[in-house]
Amino acid sequence: MKTKKQAKAKSTSIPSGVVSTAKDFGIQSDKNWYRWWQIGLAVLAAVLYVNTLGHQYTFDDSIVIVENAFTKRGFGGLYELFTRDFFEGIYGPQGMELTGGRYRPLSLMMFAIEWQFFPNTPMVGHLLNVFFYMLTAWVMLGVLTRWFGRGSMVPYATVLLFVVHPVHTEVVANIKSRDEIMCLLLLLSALYSVQQKKAIWAIWGSVAFFMSLLAKETSFMYAPLIPMVYLVFDEKEGAVLSNRLGAALRKSLPYFVAALAYFTLRYAMVGGVGGSETNPDIMENPFVSATVSEKLGTIGLILFRYLGLMVFPITLSCDYSYPQIPFVGLANPLSLLTWVAVIGATGWSLVHVLRKSVIALGWLMFLLPLLLVSNLPFNIGAPMGERFLYVPSLGFLLMAVLLLTRVLSAQKKILWAIVVVIAVIFSLKAVNRNPFWHDNLTLFGEDVKNSPNSAKIHYYYGSDLLNSVINGGDNRILDKALPELTRAVSLNPKFHLAIYALAKLYDMKGDGKNSLDCCTQVLALKPTHIGTTLLLGKIYGKYFNNPDKSIEYLERYVFQFKQNTDPTGWQYLGTAYAIKGRIPEAISALNSCLKLQPDNADAYTNLGYLYLQVGNTEQGNASFEKAKALRKR
């Protein structure tokens, strides 16, 4: 009769070919040793990213937090965040015009609750990202030791390399990427439930899987992977494949139900995942102008770059937009070789995962989630991103460690030396990369060097330099912003946002002609661009003494585009009316401005002159006094 201890020791069947003994790899299998590893890996995760706690809101944080109308309502925005498209709080009901929309309410609701208690406090967001990253390391080790046993080096080496891998700096250092962190953390919680005997674990696993889907759709690719986990770690050695497969599918049923529940909820909230790619802008729809050959060829090149980043994460960037990765046809040798290797490895893995190969499982854990964000099934809005490697990297690192253990199965010390050296190099790179995520100017200033051919990164940097001047910075910064924005437009002459930023820059430099030329280019690309319409109303009056044109654009801005809550539009319109001698309309426009912006001293001064022109001395003097009082503040 087996003792309880013996039964427990056999609760996980180690697939053939995986060395798992303490004798071979020097790992103690007792519980205390395992706990020290859990604590040590979690502490290492904190040490690597503690320098992010002083960072500001950066990059995509504006989309989900500081400029998101729903998030900034705190508790009041939770309903909208749960029932609307991911991007609606920043872009309005049209979202980003991405195929099928996006439904990821979990992280957004977390941000809303954080804003309720700690508004405009990025440290809280960064602290929670680090905490959940630590927790991910803790749970990941639990999952992998359940698969391989506590005496195998595979779990410890895999989690160690995951924690230190510098490709994860974007996810941890950018608060927005909480969706990636929670997606994997909850997915690991679901995987921990796989192979557990009690029914309560299946319930918890399906709930965790459902919540992982609410964090990000990437985890959907684990719906076919979970049965593979059952197949690979099935305790019934030598059982007929059809029986094992049937058992795996039956055991996976709760997770299939969770996936179905998510898509039912998603359809009710934002619609299905299909739909046409309606966005014609290559900056948001990276393959909109590509042929089928160019799309497949370029995606092959991107897959090669992803593999390169996993092995040699030397140059990192927050953006890889057009034309940083040039279009290539499917006949491109590197792309073709990558596709042949990927298809070959996938075919081998699909066959060998049925034979309980963990290496095959690792490859599929890497590839399947990555294919979802490859732009093959639908437009994801970007050609490539380091954050897209976060969930897939677990499979790649697991596969890499397994291959190392197989090659160096008799060389314990050499194997550990290799892992430690890689971990040290990766750690130094991660610590070196983190400070660049401090704020936008620091990040974009670095990454224009790392992605020199990305139109978007030059636009980001130039636009943020421009905004720093608008917010009171030195006007000489405009000379630094000009080449960045010019470079963005040269890389993509149809990049209307960069052209509009140039128009604003030229206006600030007093160059009306170039500002007008840029505005004309923007409206040729985007006839209803609201910001350009306002700027045209301003520059026609300021530089060209053409109040009729100025009024035409300003009335379009205020009335046709319904921007009547913007005091600037009313102020410019009041000035244009005054130049044309339309005094009553000018007075009305300036009063509308002051209702929205009661501390506008310039508007009070202009209003005072207008009141004097119509003989209303009392109102005129009162307006002057108000302007004088405001300027003394």
Token digits of residue 50? 């503690």
pLDDT value for 17: 43
CA 102 remoteness from chain centre: 12
Residues across the chain: 633
Across 447-470, average pLDDT: 96
Please work out, in degrees rounded to the nearest 5, the angle formed at the alpha carbon of residue 186 by the alpha carbons of 33 and 353: 80
C-alpha–C-alpha distance, residues 201 and 194, integer Å: 8
Q: Nearest to residue 435, comparing CAs of 104, 142, 52, 5?
A: 52
274 has a pLDDT exceeding 60: no
Q: Nearest to residue 506, comparing CAs of 527, 494, 522?
A: 522
C-alpha–C-alpha distance, residues 122 and 119, integer Å: 8
Token digits of residue 128? 């929670």
pLDDT value for 281: 86
Please work out, in degrees rounded to the nearest 5, the angle formed at the alpha carbon of residue 577 by the alpha carbons of 571 and 579: 105
Q: Which amino acid is at 533?
A: T
C-alpha–C-alpha distance, residues 422 and 210, integer Å: 35
* Cis before 333? omega within 30: no
pTM (predicted TM-score)? 0.90
Instruction: Give the whole-number percent of the chain exceeding pLDDT 90.
Output: 79
pLDDT value for 203: 92
Residue 386, judged by CB atoms within 10 A of its CB (0-12, 13-18, 19+), counts as: buried
pLDDT digits (tens, 9 = 90+) for 110-169: 999 999 999 999 999 999 999 999 999 999 999 999 999 888 899 999 999 999 999 999
Treating both helix axes as pointing N-terminal to C-terminal, what angle do 241-251 and 253-270 enclose, rounded to 10 degrees?
50
8 A C-beta contact, residue 186 and residue 212: yes
CA 217 remoteness from chain centre: 13
C-alpha–C-alpha distance, residues 531 and 599, integer Å: 23
Please work out, in degrees rounded to the nearest 5, the angle formed at the alpha carbon of residue 98 by the alpha carbons of 284 and 173: 65
pLDDT digits (tens, 9 = 90+) for 501-553: 999 999 999 999 999 999 999 999 999 999 999 999 999 999 999 999 999 99
Which residue shows structure tokens 């892992």?
A: 419
- Look up the CATH superfamily of 440-631: Tetratricopeptide repeat domain (1.25.40.10)
3 has a pLDDT exceeding 60: no
List the single range of 202-206, 313-317, 471-475 with lowest mean pLDDT: 471-475
* Contact partners, residue 353, CB within 8 Å, separation at least 6: 228, 231, 232, 360, 361, 364
Please work out, in degrees rounded to the nearest 5, the angle formed at the alpha carbon of residue 492 by the alpha carbons of 489 and 494: 90
Token digits of residue 49? 């990213």
Alpha-helix residue ranges (DSSP H) falling in 194-278: 199-215, 222-232, 241-251, 253-270
CA 347 vs CA 213, 369, 373: distances in Å: 27, 16, 20
CA 556 vs CA 13, 482, 549, 553, 577: distances in Å: 71, 29, 11, 5, 14
DSSP assignment, residue 240? Answer: -
pLDDT value for 46: 97
pLDDT digits (tens, 9 = 90+) for 49-61: 999 999 999 999 9
8 A C-beta contact, residue 254 and residue 71: no
Q: Nearest to residue 52, comparing CAs of 162, 177, 175, 163?
A: 175
Q: Which amino acid is at 162?
A: F
24 has a pLDDT exceeding 90: no
**What is the full DSSP assignment across 56-97?**
---TTHIIIIIT-TTGGGGGGGHHHHHHS-TTHHHH-TTTT-
- For the chain, the structural domain boundaries read 29-58+121-273+281-433, 440-631
8 A C-beta contact, residue 563 and residue 530: yes
Token digits of residue 300? 């092959």
CA 249 vs CA 237, 246, 253, 297, 406: distances in Å: 17, 5, 6, 35, 30
490 has a pLDDT exceeding 50: yes
DSSP assignment, residue 15? Answer: P
Which pLDDT band holds residue 236 (cuts at 50, 70, 90)? Answer: low
581 has a pLDDT exceeding 90: yes
